[in-house]
Amino acid sequence: MKITNQIVEKHGLKPEEYENIKKLLDREPNFLELGIFSAMWNEHCSYKSSRIHLKKLPTKGKQVIQGPGENAGVIDIGDNDAIVFKIESHNHPSYIEPYQGAATGVGGILRDVFTMGARPIALLNSLHFGAPDHPKTKSLLHGVVSGIGGYGNCIGIPTVAGETKFSRTYNENILVNAMAVGHAKKDKIFYSKAKGINKSVVYVGSKTGRDGIHGASMASAEFDENSEEKKPTVQVGDPFTEKLLMEACLELMKDNSIISIQDMGAAGLTSSSVEMASKGSLGIELELDKIPCREENMTPYEMMLSESQERMLIILEDGKEKAAKKIFDKWDLDFVIIGRTTNTNNLTLKFNNKIEGEIPIEALASKAPIYDRQWVKKNPKKNKIDLKDLKKIKIEEALIKILSSPNHSNKSWITNQYDQMVMCDTAQKSGSDAAIIRIHNTDKAIAVSVDSSANYCKSHPITGGKQIVCENWRNLVSVGAKPLAITNCLNFGNPENQEIMGEFAECLEGIKEACEFLNYPVVSGNVSFYNGTNKKNIYPTPVIGGVGLIKKLSVPISHIFKKNKSNLVMIGKTFGHIEQSCFLKENFSINEGLPPEINLLNEKNNGETLLKLINNNLVLSSHDISSGGLIIALAEMALGSNYGAKIFKPKKLTNLSNYFFGEDQARYIIEVEAHNLSKTEKILKDNGIYYENIGFTQKEYFEIEGELKISNKDLYKINNEWYNNY
């Protein structure tokens, strides 16, 4: 086939990139080779626009076993135990085909984890949909939630935490980010780096079909009015086969058979074989006619670019093939030796004993394009808010409006569709600041949480980047966990747009600063660009997934009030920052101004001191203060409990809206029994922590002196109102 400019463009390659390919090969590529370059050089696989910025992130620490560059990150939690985790996007597929897009997003991230030798113990997600009144939102919402539940429930991994948000910025491009967490022994971690010459390259799992071809390329381009036509690029998942594949791989890992292992994710067999060979500085030769196919007359091009699910590539030690095949036969999975490692440093593709393609590995990997794209710095404008306007709405009216809004309403109708308790190690499920998963047969546990804040990042990207790391940190601290490391999923618009690239660069700077200060390294992640339709880009939406350690779990700390007449203490100072608040958004439709400032020293000191209080058994419940401010945090603590609260009027800030709805950072609310209050105050004072005694818990009513009094029953009704009417 003659390679034309039109064919090159259809493969998502720029003319100058194609010219570079010809130079690297010293010839014209054939159609198969062009497809392989297209797969490996797209944004999704090569990170060509983000690599220079990602290098700035802190990725090392005493707790880090494996940082970015492998299928998932690995951290040490002591006693030869390791936690393996990663988050990835499946945005474009989920917009086109919500059920399968979301389901295969779950399947893909699970393979990233058990490929490393870890048994998955938890799933999380971060979901962003368009406005509830947009004609597509309802079907996308139900399709995605069903897909996540359908896959996770069937494979038997609990979905324990997440977030679901709505905004018009996602009307034409939803975000579906899936995170998986697994447990492994530190001395039994598996990697993708190929080693040795003439080693067996083995295909295992499900058969190869035509689904998902060009899926990675589709994820590296903006949508347009013809996006619906891209459904064939969406993979189809089978959780029951994934379960068999997981158990077979974990069984094989008990032996010393595996040299390297890699799942076939984006770009399928192409990316898995190239990545293994590249990391090992080896070549790899594949006999494509040996690939098990579920459709007739599949071409080499289709085989190499298929993104059919539930497949792995394994390189085995000599003489281990027979025993390994026996395991996969037992689990009723394909096991076929399809190639060998070589010393050629080439990807060599044979079909019916004829070489159909031969490409230097480095041309596909290390010599893939790296762009230092031009970007512009954000110059945000401070919003001038007339304080008189804030007094036009009563505290009670504003509270009701926020609690009944789509973003703050009860989401149990979502989480109830997920099995959160399977495996029986979920000590605290979704609803609190972080979920808690017990390490099986121990009294040790991990806490996990995902967080995002697009409005802050749009307004001031550096501050927004810092804030979302800090919020994730606070969520782990709130349940008594020491934060250890993060994974990130960086969802942005078109990187060829200088403003969008500026948002990315500055968000990364903010993430870097916060992670360095908090000793909270980035161990894995994903970049998702081109989130938009017809040049209308989403707001910058970095998602942070954090993991923390609870060395000894007794009674899990949640955000729900535990006792009557216990004291409520606010840690951290309130300045009344109201710009970019959900108070202004929900009550005045104002979405402008600057986000609250981030004081990293206060974040660190306040968080570490709260951990001291929790470890001294002085805290009954705890909740960080974030979106909606103090009053929303207090209302959330009352919801789901048998107790309300009576809150004092502030002594310093005269504007009650600023005090109760301001979104100042580095703050927590803790519930303390009366007899422990003096001990608590002493620790806070000794550590130089600002705090306020703001009230106490009480039966039946949520109350602010002289301003509002709502029964817990009514509060619950208000909080459940939106979905019941949707």
Q: Do the beta carbons of residue 143 and residue 275 sit within 8 Å?
A: no
Write the DSSP string, 572-585: S------TT-HHHH
3-state helix, strand, coil in the chain (%, to 5): 35, 25, 40
CA dihedral angle for residue 240, residue 243, residue 249, residue 253, rounded to 10 degrees: -160
User: For residue 88, what are the β-bridge partners?
Assistant: 178
Phi, psi at 702, each rounded to 5° = -105, 120
Task: Give me the torsion for CA of 575, 577, 581, 584, rounded to 10°.
Answer: 110
Q: Which residues are catalytic?
A: 44, 90
79 backbone φψ class: left, alpha, beta (φ>0; ψ -120 to 50): left
Instruction: Check: CB of residue 478 under 8 Å from CB of residue 557.
Output: yes
CA separation for the pair 520, 512 (Å, rounded):
9
The residue type at 608: E
**Phi and psi for 583 in degrees, rounded to 5?**
-60, -50
Q: Decide if 712 contacts 603 (C-beta within 8 A).
A: no
**Rounded Cα–Cα distance for residues 683 and 159 (Å):** 36
Q: How far is CA 405 from CA 32, 241, 609, 658, 721, in A?
A: 51, 40, 34, 20, 8
Amino acid at 178: A
As given in the structure block, the two tokens for residue 497 are 């747009």
Distance CA 693, CA 568 (A): 6
The tokens 């098990």 sit on which residue?
292
Instruction: Compute the distance between CA of residue 109 and CA of residue 128 in angstroms, rounded to an integer.
Output: 18
The full DSSP string for 473-529 is: HHHHHHTT-EEEEEEEEEE-S-TTSHHHHHHHHHHHHHHHHHHHHHT--EEEEEEE-
Residues paired with 165 in a beta bridge = 128
CA–CA distance, 94 with 148 (Å, rounded to integer): 11
Decide: 513 and 594 in contact? Cβ < 8 Å.
no
**CA-CA distance, 684 to 616, in Å (whole number)?**
13
- H/E segment holding residue 694: strand 691-699
- How many CA atoms, within 13 angstroms, populate the side-chain half-sphere of residue 64? 20
Tokens representing residue 432 in the block: 């609190």
E strands in 142-190: 159-166, 175-185
